[in-house]
Amino acid sequence: MAVLVNNKSRIIVQGFTGTEGSFHASQMIEYGTQVVGGVTPGKGGSTHLDRPVFNTVADAVKNTGADVSIIFVPPAFAADAIMEAAEAGVALVVCITEGIPVQDMVKAKHYLTGTRTRLIGPNCPGVITAEQCKVGIMPGFVFKKGKIGIVSKSGTLTYEAADQVAKAGLGISTAIGIGGDPIIGTTTKEAVELLMNDPETEGIVMIGEIGGNMEAEAARWVKANQRKPVVGFIAGQTAPPGRRMGHAGAIIGGADDTAAAKMKILSECGIEVVQSPADIGATMARVILRAKKGKSENKKVKKDVKKAKAENSKVKKDAKKGKTESKKGRVKGKK
C-alpha cells in the first residue's frame, strides 16, 4: 500500500506538448507511470508521446478515466488549470509550476473547498511511490522501495533524504513534495497524517524551512497522534530575519518562524531533530531500530503478562478444586 499514487493511478499531463511537459512526461513514462494522455488547448485530437491529446481536462478524464493530473502550465494560467482539473473531478492534482501570483492561488484554494480534489503544490517536485508511480520532476532512480515516508517543502532535500534513507537500507514508501509557496494545497500536517495512517510506512522524515507555522502545526499533531518515529530537519538555520530565502514562503516574519524556534518545537513534540541534512539517513536508521526494539520488548511484556494471567487462573482453579475436595472430605467425615 502507498499514499496518493500507486501503480494503478492514471495520469494526465496539463501542458502536455510544451517543453517541460514533454520532457517530464517522457521521464514519468520511462519510470513506469501510467500516463494515459494530456491536455493542450487547440491540439485536441492529435497524439504526443504516443498518447492522446485533448482540448480540456473534462474530455481527457471522460476518455481515459484519469484520476491524477500533473500541471506544467505557465504561472499566469496555472491557477485556472488547477480549477479546471477540480471541476473535471480529478482526485489528485500535482502542480509543479513556480511563480503563480498569490492572488490567483487564493482563488484556486478557495475553489477547491468542498471538492473531492486534493492539491499538491504549487512550486513542488511532486509525489512518488517508489518503484510504482512518479508524478513529478524528481530523479526516479534515487527512490528505492522501502518503508520510510518523506514530507518536504524542498525538492533538493527530498532527493537527498531519499538517497540517504536508501543507503541506510530502509528505502522509501511515498515521498510528498508539498511545495514552498505561501499558499499550497496540502500542508505538512496533512501529508504527515497520510503517512502516519499508512500501514506500510514505518517511519517519517519531515523536512521544513523557515517561515510560516506548518511545521509547528504538524509537530503538535505528531505529539498527539504519534505511532511511528519521525525525524525532522529545518532548513534556513543561518537565514537573517526579514529576507526571503529561495521559496516564496521562506521568510522569517516573527520569532516563531526561525529555524531554531521550529527545531525546538519539533524536539519538544517528540520528533528526532537533526542539525544537518547529512544526518537524516543514519538518524532514521537508529530511531527505527529503537522503535523495533521497543515493540519487541513490549511484545515480551505482553507475553509475560499473558503467561502470568494463565498461571494465576491455574492457581485459582487449583484452589477451587482444593476447596471442593476439602468440602467432600468434611461430608464424608460427618457420615
Of these residues, 24, 48, 110, 247, which one is catalytic?
A: 247
Residues 6+ apart with CB under 8 A from 17: 38, 40, 43, 48, 53
Joined together, the cell numbers standing for residue 161 give 533524504
Q: Please answer whether residues 111 and 148 qualify as being in contact, where contact means their C-beta atoms are separated by less than 8 angstroms.
A: no
Q: How far apart are CA 237 and CA 209, in angstroms?
A: 8
Q: Is 215 helix (H, G, I), strand (E, B) or coil?
A: helix
* H or E, element range at 298: helix 280-334
The contacts of residue 93 (CB under 8 Å, 6+ apart) are 68, 69, 70, 71, 82, 85, 86, 117, 118, 119, 120, 185
- The three cell numbers locating residue 210: 523557515
Check: CB of residue 121 under 8 Å from CB of residue 178. Answer: yes
Backbone angles phi, psi at 14, to 5 degrees: -90, 125
Q: Is 110 a residue of the active site?
A: no
Alpha-carbon gap, residue 174 to 188, rounded angstroms? 14
Distance (Å, rounded) from C-alpha 119 to C-alpha 100?
A: 14
Please count the helices (runs of H) and the strands (runs of E) in the chain: 9, 14
**Alpha carbons within 13 A on the beta-carbon side of 171:** 11
3-state secondary structure of 156: helix
> If DSSP codes are grouped into helix, strand and coil, which group holds residue 92?
strand
* Dihedral sign, Cα of residue 136, residue 139, residue 143, residue 149: negative
Q: Scanning the structure block, which residue is given the C-alpha cell 543561518?
A: 238
Q: Rounded to the nearest 5°, which phi and psi values hold at 261?
A: -65, -45
Nearest to 208 by CA among 152, 248, 169, 150: 152
Active-site residue list? 247
